[in-house]
Every structure is written in structure tokens, then in C-alpha cells.
Structure 1
Amino acid sequence: MADRHVTYTSDNLTQAVIDRIRPDAAPRVKQVMEALIRHVHAFVREVELTPEEWEQGVAFVTELGKWCDDKRQEVILLSDILGVSMLVDAIAHRSHASVSETTVLGPFHRENPPRMTNGENLSRDVPGEPLEVEVKVCDEQGRPLEGAQVDAWHTSPEGFYDSQLGDAHSMRGRFVTGPDGVVAFHTVMPSSYPVPHDGPVGRVLSAMGRGPMRPTHVHFWIKMPGYRDLITHIFRDGDPYLHDDAVFGVKASLVTDWDLPKKEGKPAKLAYEFRIPKLDAD
């Protein structure tokens, strides 16, 4: 009598796992899980992962979770430094050249920032070089959009986000555009800074011989009913880390010269026009 028991080997295990997915599973679940299983198994075969390395990997993933809280997201950080966040972003936001480009959200976004009005100081009581910010939110044809919600946030001149310094909100705020589509505020010049590298993701960067730095930028998250959300940064031209961004978030269209007004004796200024597409846009 033939042996009815199956022996799983490196040759037949992948298909056996895929075959366990129920035929009535949701099509997207089936597609994603089949691909995940194939690629993970292929990775293990390619590098011939040892049991000791597997244990180290399990411990690493477990540690990632322990470093996450309401102020820090180590899993997003890992996704960022591996380029996964930007790859997902690039696939999700294929669009016309007339639409502003997106980039990563980053691990330091905070929900419900302070509500502010045009002309307020985003960084009250924070010393530093003055920076004027004026952005305009428009549709794809360049027509100003009234009532768009604009969240803005950035680091201190020393390179720290408010959540790294304490619980208080600072250097971040939520604005709403008027009839001209404009949001304008005073703040201080942010700085290039290292992504958090005192945890497990920092060890990965170090093991790869990579640096943790990000170039100077201001974050924006724009929401408008009937339009796609825009999550992006505007980068300061001339920053030494523009070509070595730890999270691969720099795009040429998002780099601007903030220092041009200083040649006329005026404060540095970030000025930008955002264009966002309607939800039904191709």
C-alpha cells in the first residue's frame, strides 16, 4: 500500500502552501498571498537562509513592534529606508505631468495638529532663522481651490520634530485655503536631520554601510473634497543630502530655492504652487 502521507521538501513546499488557499478566498487576497508566498520562498532559497538567521529575523520583526508608539513608527521607517514606501507611492500616483508629485508621509506625522490661520507663526517660541512659507493649492488646470485643508510640519533648526522633544505640538499646524487658494505662515528654517537610527532600523542602515540623513524639507498633506489627497515635501535647494536621502523621497520638481529673497535683504521664503487632480482623473 502506497504511503498516503506527503513529505514536504524545498521543491514542493511552495506550491503546497499556495494550494491551501481556499478557492473561494477573495480574489485580491488570493493574488496578494500567492505572490507573497512565492517571493518569500524564493528569497529563502536564494540566500539559503539558515535556522539561526531565521531566528534573528523573527527577533528583528518582534523588536520593530516594540519600538512603535504614538510618536514613532519603526515599521514605516523600515519601509522607508528600503525604498518600499516610495515604490508603493510611485505605483499609486502615476499621473499627468501637470499634477504635483507625491512623496513619503514619514514616521513623524501626527493626527489633529493645531488649527491655524494665515499669517500665524507655525514655530512660536522656537528660535532660528526666519522662513516665510506661501503655498497655493490649485486644480489640475491651475485654478485656485478654496476650502482645501493643508497640514504642514517640519523639524526644528537642530533637526528634531516636536514629538522627539516632548508632547506639545510645535512646528506643525492645519490651515484652510481661502478664495485665492493660498496658505501663508511664518516659521523658522528647518534642518537636514537623521532618521531615528538608535533602534533596529538603524542597525540595518549601519550593516548596509548607509547613512541616516534626510535633506531639509517641509511636509504638506493637502485634502480637498472631490480631489485626491496630496502628501509631499518641498525640499531646500543646495542641501548636501539631496542626492543621499535615506528614504529616497527627493524628486526634482519638489526642490526649490528658498534663499533667493535673501539676496534682496528679505527673509528666506518657500513658495510653491500645488496642483491636485480630481478623484476621477486618469
Structure 2
Amino acid sequence: MRNINEDTITQAVIASFANCGNPRLRTVMTSLVQHLHAFARDVHLTEDEWFKAIKFLTEVGHITDDKRQEFILLSDTLGLSMLVTSQNNRKPANCTEATVFGPFYVEGAPFYSNGDDISNGAKGAPCYVSGQVRGAGGEAVGNAQLDVWQSDEDGFYDVQNQDEAGNVVHSARGRLRTDAEGFFNFRSILAEAYPIPHDGPVGRMLSAVGRHPWRPAHLHFMIEAPGYQTLITHVFRDGGQYLDSDVVFGVRSSLISEWKRHEPGVAPDGRDISVPWYSLEYDFVLNPSEVHA
């Protein structure tokens, strides 16, 4: 492979994959090289721009740790996350739509029972959430596991805050299971709009192209049950700002629901609440897995 030039470099790189024993990897790498090279030719990428791009990606890597995933933020804000989600989650019309995973999911969140308060001190107006998980045929899905997480009223997730010892105290986050009839309920806090972390390279990128960093108010859910496809989705607060300009392009009309405001008084769990509180009712419909079907 001598004397490679700008006209022959693409095919030379593709030819170098000839001994790849993984057909899928070879397909992906071949397409990746073709599109990267076509992009560079299309914009006539300069060496200075290439160096700046390498520096940008290096900074994305440096700021990423176990509490902040800047690469997911980059993928989210470029629409890649939602594109991959959409093309891998085509479902019957009656099933709940999927949306982006986001960078703040935590494995092994605390387990709660139905009716518990998962807010664990997170700042925000009280909110009672309830609903049912069903299958596409209308059947109740009992013992389904729900992972739930959200930001506090200041726009921060628990993993973005630490106590004096440097530990994360989980709040507004938890796992619970549906009852035998597929019903669930818990107390948390009112969802509020918030900006994604924008003090790093992704934030600078958004500013450079004239975009805001805001997400509309939402509550994250991941629902798993044997015989059904795992559902990763949000429920968005109706009437909230940024529903039509979500920085990660994740809003679906079917996922927008009303958070009902209630005056101070007796809440669904019998507590006497002295401040206005909210309630959200939302049902989820899971798509059967191939094995179940």
C-alpha cells in the first residue's frame, strides 16, 4: 500500500479489513470509513479543524467518569441516541414509545415497595405517581420491575451531588415491582425542566452552534418483565417549556401527560400535606419479546 493519495485512501483502508473474522464488524467499519472520508471530502476538512476535533473528543473523554457520561451527552445532543433508539424500537401502535436512556441511570438503585416515598429528601413539590403495566394484548404484567429516576427542582440528579464524605446519597431514584395486577404507585417530587450539564465540551459545542441546553420536565422509567421487551422511556410534563425544543430530541406526543395540581390537604397515602402537591397517572404497554410471542 504505497503511494496512497486522496483518491485511493478510502478503498485502501476498506481493503485492510479483508481478514476481519467478524462479518458485522467488517460491515460497520467499512461503512464508517466510507462516511468519514466522504464527510472530510464534502467539507474539505482542514488540518486545523481536524486537530480541533481531536482535541474536542479528548476533552469529552477526560471529563467522563462514573458520575458523568459526556459521550452520551454528545450522542444525545447530535440526535444519534434518538435515531438509534427509534430504529431499534419499532413497535405496534398501542405499545408505549421508547426514548433516550440519558446519562444518569444508575444500576442497583434502592428497592422500594409500592406506596413508598422514593424522593429521599430530594428538593421539589410532592408528587404521587401511579399506573399500570400491561402487555400489548391488554393483559396485566405482574411483578414487572420499574427503575425510576429524575432530577430535583434545581435540575440536578443525585449522582451530581455528594455528601461531605464524597458519597452519593440516592434520591428521587428507585426500583419497585408491580403488584399481581400490574399496578404500581409511589411518591416522588414534581418534574421540572433542567439543562443538561453544559460546563464541558458538549456545552461549548451547543453554545457555538446557537443551541440551548434545556430538557423539558420529565420522569425516567425503565421497565423489565420476562417475556417482554425492556422499555426505556420518559413521561413528559404537559404544558412545560422546551417540549418543542428538547436538546436531545426525545419528546414523543404519546409520552406527554398531565401532572395534576392539588391544594394542600390529604394526599393519596393519607398524609396531611400543607403545601400544594401533584399527581401523575400513566399506564405503560409493553411489547412481547420474540420468545413470548
TM-score when normalising by structure 1: 0.94
1:179-190 superposed matches below 5 A:
179-190=180-191
Per-residue Cα deviation, 1:123-180 (whole angstroms, up to 9, x for no partner): 1323432211002111111211111100001111111111112211000000011112
Asked if structure 2 preserves the Cα contact closer than 8 Å seen for 1:158 and 1:190, the reply is: no
Aligned twin of 1:278? 288
In 2, Cα distance between equivalents of 1:14 and 1:105: 34
- Aligned-partner residue type, residue 7 of structure 1: N
In 1, Cα distance between equivalents of 2:230 and 2:44: 42
In 1, Cα distance between equivalents of 2:53 and 2:20: 32
Shift in Å, 1:24: 5.2
Distance change in 2, residues 1:144/1:32 (3 Å): same
Aligned twin of 1:197? 198
Question: 2:85 pairs with 89, 92, 99, which one?
Answer: 89
1:89-168 superposed matches below 5 A:
89-166=85-162, 167-168=168-169
Aligned twin of 1:268? 278
Distance change in 2, residues 1:94/1:127 (3 Å): closer
In 1, Cα distance between equivalents of 2:207 and 2:261: 37
In 2, Cα distance between equivalents of 1:35 and 1:237: 40
In 2, Cα distance between equivalents of 1:240 and 1:61: 31
TM-score when normalising by structure 2: 0.91
Aligned twin of 1:227? 228
- Structure 2 residue runs of 5 or longer lacking an equivalent are 163-167, 268-276
In 2, Cα distance between equivalents of 1:97 and 1:126: 36
Per-residue Cα deviation, 1:213-250 (whole angstroms, up to 9, x for no partner): 00000000001112110000000000011001000000
Aligned twin of 1:213? 214
Asked if structure 2 preserves the Cα contact closer than 8 Å seen for 1:14 and 1:37, the reply is: yes
Shift in Å, 1:261: 5.7
Give 3-state SS (helix, strand or coil) of 2:7's partner: coil
In 1, Cα distance between equivalents of 2:127 and 2:283: 17
In 2, Cα distance between equivalents of 1:44 and 1:265: 63
Output the aligned Cα RMSD: 1.9
Task: List structure 1 runs of 4+ shifted beyond 3 angstroms.
Answer: 264-267
Aligned twin of 1:245? 246
- Aligned-partner residue type, residue 220 of structure 2: H
- Aligned-partner residue type, residue 87 of structure 1: L
Asked if structure 2 preserves the Cα contact closer than 8 Å seen for 1:218 and 1:233, the reply is: yes
Query: How many pairs are equivalent?
Result: 278
Shift in Å, 1:62: 1.2
Asked if structure 1 preserves the Cα contact closer than 8 Å seen for 2:120 and 2:170, the reply is: no
Would you say 1:69 and 2:65 are equivalent positions? yes
In 2, Cα distance between equivalents of 1:250 and 1:24: 39
In 2, Cα distance between equivalents of 1:24 and 1:205: 37
In 2, Cα distance between equivalents of 1:95 and 1:146: 21
In 1, Cα distance between equivalents of 2:5 and 2:120: 63
- Structure 1 residue runs of 5 or longer lacking an equivalent are none
- Tell me which moved more, 155-164 or 125-134: 125-134
